[in-house]
């Protein structure tokens, strides 16, 4: 165990002042020795640093010099190799450029030839496609016209057959309806005659009683009601005037309704006349049977579209026949005025038959006098 100077002094019999002075002197001597040793160490270390520094600098200088010399030599070698490689590269590039230029030229020429060939083939295909489309469209249009023509012919055929069936059904219906209506009318007439007889008897009895009552009422009015005769006359006059006013109002309303009805009938008659004139003009060259078929076909067509529908159905109705053409005289016609009435154009036989049948049915049904 180390013993300090202070511990040594403490073990002596010296006074405290001496101890303190000795302690101070010791500490001063120790600090002086420390400073001297520190200075010596610093000097020694400085000399060692300078020596080591010079050695290190010399060694680093030698090392760097060697390394730089080696690196410069390597760079020079690499530079020479790079120059040689650059020369070789330029030579190879020139050769490769020539090869690439010839390859690109050949490829481009080949592609242009193939493009021209493809263009010519596409033009041929487009031409063939146009021809195919034109032929297909022409065949489709021809088929469409054939179908349209066959449809019109079928419609004409159906109308012709339907007209024949309708005529047969009409005849059978007229015969059956005539029998049924005749039986029914006979039955109804017998019942009505019986009821008329009863009504006549009752009306005679009522008339007799009314006459008796009127004679009694006149006698009673003459005998007992002379005072109120003027009042009753006034009342009767007022009632007659009111009746006349009501009748006038009704007649005005009836005249207005009749005017509206007349206008409607005039419009209908004008349309009917125009339709009849147009049909007569269009169907003049046709025969009787063809007229009936054409009239049935044009029955549901409006007056404005008669001519177009007639031209549409005419080929199918004629079915290969040529229409009759009216021969008109080119010479002037001299008309003699005799004062006699002009002959009225009579209806055709079919129209007469239809009118007779309708009148007969109405007569049997009790609708006409």
- Mean residue pLDDT across the chain: 76
Would you say residue 331 has pLDDT above 60?
Answer: no
Query: For the packed helices 16-224 and 349-365, what is the interaxial angle rounded to 10 degrees?
Result: 80
Task: Look up the pTM and report it.
Answer: 0.28
* Res 327: pLDDT: 40
pLDDT per residue as tens digits for the range 215-242: 766 666 665 555 456 567 767 777 888 8
Tokens 């009746």 sit on residue: 243
Q: What distance in Å separates the CA atoms of residue 154 and residue 306, rounded to the nearest whole number?
A: 20
Q: How far is CA 96 from CA 89, 92, 104, 110, 111, in A?
A: 10, 6, 12, 21, 22
Q: Which of 358, 286, 321, 147 is nearest to 296 (CA)?
A: 286
Q: Name the more confident of 209 and 54.
A: 54
Q: Give the 3-state DSSP-derived string for 188-236, with helices as H, strands as E and coil as C.
A: HHHHHHHHHHHHHHHHHHHHHHHHHHHHHHHHHHHHHCCCCHHHHHHHH
Q: What distance in Å separates the CA atoms of residue 283 and residue 271, rounded to the nearest whole number?
A: 18
Lowest average pLDDT, out of 99-113, 288-302, 330-344, goes to 330-344
- Residues 57, 47 contacting (CB under 8 angstroms): no
Tokens of 120: 């010519």
* Res 153: pLDDT: 79
pLDDT per residue as tens digits for the range 287-325: 888 888 888 888 888 888 888 888 888 887 776 554 444
pLDDT per residue as tens digits for the range 165-180: 888 888 888 888 888 8
Q: How far is CA 53 from CA 5, 41, 45, 47, in A?
A: 42, 18, 12, 10
Q: What distance in Å separates the CA atoms of residue 43 and residue 35, rounded to the nearest whole number?
A: 12
pLDDT per residue as tens digits for the range 57-79: 888 888 888 888 888 888 888 88
Q: What distance in Å separates the CA atoms of residue 272 and residue 54, rounded to the nearest whole number?
A: 143
Residue 322 Ramachandran class (φ > 0 left, ψ -120 to 50 alpha, else beta): beta
């Amino acid at each position: 165990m180390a013993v300090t100077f202070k511990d040594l002094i403490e073990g002596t019999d010296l006074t405290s002042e001496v101890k303190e002075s000795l302690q101070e002197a010791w500490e001063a001597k120790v600090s002086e020795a420390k400073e001297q040793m520190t200075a010596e160490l610093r000097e020694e270390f400085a000399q060692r640093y300078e020596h080591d520094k010079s050695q290190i600098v010399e060694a680093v200088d030698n090392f760097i010099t060697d390394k730089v010399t080696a690196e410069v030599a390597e760079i020079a070698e690499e530079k020479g190799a790079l120059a040689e490689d650059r020369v070789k590269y330029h030579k190879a590039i020139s050769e490769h450029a020539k090869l690439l230029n010839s390859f690109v030229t050949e490829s481009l020429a080949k592609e242009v030839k193939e493009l021209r060939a493809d263009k010519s083939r596409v033009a041929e295909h487009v031409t063939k496609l146009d021809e195919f489309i034109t032929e297909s469209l022409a065949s489709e249009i021809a088929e469409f016209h054939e179908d349209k023509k066959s449809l019109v012919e079928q419609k004409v055929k159906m109308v012709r057959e339907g007209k024949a069936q309708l005529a047969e059904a009409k005849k059978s219906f007229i015969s059956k309806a005539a029998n049924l209506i005749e039986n029914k009318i006979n039955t109804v007439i017998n019942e009505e005659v019986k009821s008329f007889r009863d009504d006549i008897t009752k009306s005679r009895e009522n008339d007799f009683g009314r006459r008796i009552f009127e004679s009694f009422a006149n006698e009673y009015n003459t005998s007992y009601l002379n005072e109120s005769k003027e009042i009753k006359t006034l009342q009767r006059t007022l009632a007659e005037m009111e009746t006349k006013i009501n009748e006038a109002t009704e007649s005005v309303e009836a005249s207005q309704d009749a005017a509206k009805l007349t206008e409607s009938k005039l419009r209908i008659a004008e349309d009917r006349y125009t339709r009849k004139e147009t049909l007569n003009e269009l169907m003049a060259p046709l025969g009787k049977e063809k007229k009936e078929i054409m009239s049935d076909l044009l029955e549901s067509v409006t007056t404005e579209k008669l001519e177009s529908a007639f031209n549409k159905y005419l080929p199918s109705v004629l079915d290969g026949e040529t229409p009759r053409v009216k021969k008109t005289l080119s010479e002037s016609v001299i008309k003699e005025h005799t004062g006699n009435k002009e002959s009225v154009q009579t209806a055709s036989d079919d129209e007469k038959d239809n009118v007779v049948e309708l009148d007969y049915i109405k007569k049997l049904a009790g609708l006409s006098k």
